[in-house]
Chain A
């Protein structure tokens, strides 16, 4: 589904963050990308979203080299992603409004796209109906992130990219949203890539974990974590062992 082919990326004339980096994620996998700050995880996600262009090599998604944001890829960022002047309902419908604005042209919206502004089922699924007419500043951080999820899923993506989506939330909200994302991942058959700096989050969400270190990143360090993706995994011994291993690897760098 996602392939990085000899990817090289640097900002301006700086030293490379990725240097001939190879990585592949298969359709329907749930990936966590873990690493210390400055390791290039957000950069990786922006490359996958088509918001940055590689200095060398290619990003290939669903067989197509990526040159601009792709209509079937959803991106959710930590915060500030919602329009402050629009209500929850309007924010959730923003992606659809943008598609309606361009029409089904194949670049901004899929060719088979049928114009709609219907987001009520998503608001209901994400428990946002009571706050649908509120503005982002009037709702909680968890509700804001659920709005961002509704906005993305209303576009029926097949790839969902998340950039530290829950790091500004309190622990109970964070854990319930992690569970929700995994439910949606299964329901919608998404390919999920979640960037995080939290070891517990990576171990709980990522069936596969990509570890990044201090740049330049040359080799993809991948850990298999097959038990992840079920709500009870957090209580298991395997999960604890994975957390220990991740902690050791991050600390040992």
Chain B
């Protein structure tokens, strides 16, 4: 997408927001200008930054954890019939279950700290990445593996030159598809037993302090978090997987 188009789309959304706030004329829908002012004030003088960093850490940590565990597992499943036979039915059953419902369970088991929150997002991402990487690895042609082996590649070189680069697009596709879900799940888990994070910030400003412009500032911040992660993955996909779009 072109920069100019993105800019125009953003401008159009802001204008729509402004018009809506003129029509509604209620404190629960402040104009974008008011929200922008509050956003800057909350960033500089308030602690919106701290909440942002807490949320960012949770998303990044859970993403790293899911890639670190799901990618090798997906590769192994994609290459080994025996492993697939054992684990695929389990994954098949677990995959469609909405992982958010495990929030209370994870809270009970892992306490109210960051760990339980990271684990919930991890569960969401893990299965997405696992399934896509597995499919990608299973689709690698045996001829390709044979011909690379004939060049002298053993297990380590096959991993480095074939399996790793082959699973990269699957990891990035999985991330692009699930980053929205991850941020949504983040919002939900930050409702529970915490006083740090954008989810908490939005809920606290909105329903306890009734500070609506600050609540919107939190919503904007959370949107920016999701958007910037999405753009980052999109950019990585375009530079690392150039071969897929000839």
A contacts, CB < 8 Å to B: 46, 49-51, 69, 71, 73-87, 94-95, 97-99, 101-102, 108-109, 135, 137-138, 148, 151-152, 155, 161
Residues of A within 8 A of B147 (CB): 75-77, 80-81, 148
Q: Could you tell me if B162 and A83 are in contact, using CB atoms closer than 8 angstroms? A: yes
Q: Is B141 an interface residue (CB 8 A)?
A: yes
Give the one of B146, B147, B246 with max A CB within 10 A. Answer: B147
Name B166's closest neighbour in chain A (CB-CB): A85
Kindly identify which residue among B146, B151, B168 contacts A155, using a CB–CB cutoff of 8 Å: B151
Kindly identify which residue among B150, B161, B168, B242 contacts A69, using a CB–CB cutoff of 8 Å: B150
20 pairs of residues in contact across A and B, judged by CB atoms under 8 Å = A51-B146, A51-B149, A69-B149, A71-B152, A73-B150, A74-B150, A77-B143, A78-B143, A80-B141, A81-B143, A81-B147, A83-B148, A83-B162, A83-B165, A94-B148, A98-B152, A108-B154, A109-B152, A155-B152, A161-B150
Kindly identify which residue among A75, A80, A135, A137 contacts B150, using a CB–CB cutoff of 8 Å: A75
Residues of B within 8 A of A95 (CB): 151-152
Q: Is B20 an interface residue (CB 8 A)?
A: no
* Nearest CB of chain A from residue B155's CB, rounded to whole Å: 11
Of all A-B residue pairs in the complex, the 5 with the closest CB atoms, nearest first, are: A81-B147, A75-B150, A95-B151, A135-B243, A80-B143
Q: Could you tell me if B143 and A79 are in contact, using CB atoms closer than 8 angstroms? A: yes
Fill in one digit per residue for B134-166: 1 if any A CB lies within 8 Å of its CB, else 0.
Answer: 000000010110111111111011001110011
Q: Could you tell me if B161 and A83 are in contact, using CB atoms closer than 8 angstroms? A: yes
Q: Could you tell me if A151 and B144 are in contact, using CB atoms closer than 8 angstroms? A: no
Q: Is B91 an interface residue (CB 8 A)?
A: no
Residues of B within 8 A of A51 (CB): 146, 149-150
Expressed in whole angstroms, the Cα–Cα distance for A79 and B144 within the complex equals 8
Residues of A within 8 A of B243 (CB): 84-87, 135, 137
Q: Could you tell me if A108 and B157 are in contact, using CB atoms closer than 8 angstroms? A: yes
Expressed in whole angstroms, the Cα–Cα distance for A152 and B242 within the complex equals 25
A85-B168, A108-B152 are known; give 13 further A-B pairs, CB within 8 A. Answer: A49-B150, A51-B149, A69-B150, A71-B152, A79-B143, A80-B141, A82-B144, A83-B165, A85-B166, A87-B243, A108-B153, A135-B243, A152-B151
* Nearest CB of chain A from residue B139's CB, rounded to whole Å: 11
Name B241's closest neighbour in chain A (CB-CB): A85
* Nearest CB of chain A from residue B75's CB, rounded to whole Å: 15
Residues of A within 8 A of B144 (CB): 80-83
Expressed in whole angstroms, the Cα–Cα distance for A71 and B154 within the complex equals 12
Expressed in whole angstroms, the Cα–Cα distance for A102 and B153 within the complex equals 9
Residues of B within 8 A of A78 (CB): 143
Expressed in whole angstroms, the Cα–Cα distance for A102 and B149 within the complex equals 13
Give the one of B151, B242, B246 with max A CB within 10 A. Answer: B151
Q: Could you tell me if A98 and B150 are in contact, using CB atoms closer than 8 angstroms? A: no
Residues of A within 8 A of B161 (CB): 83, 94, 97-98, 101
* Nearest CB of chain A from residue B237's CB, rounded to whole Å: 12
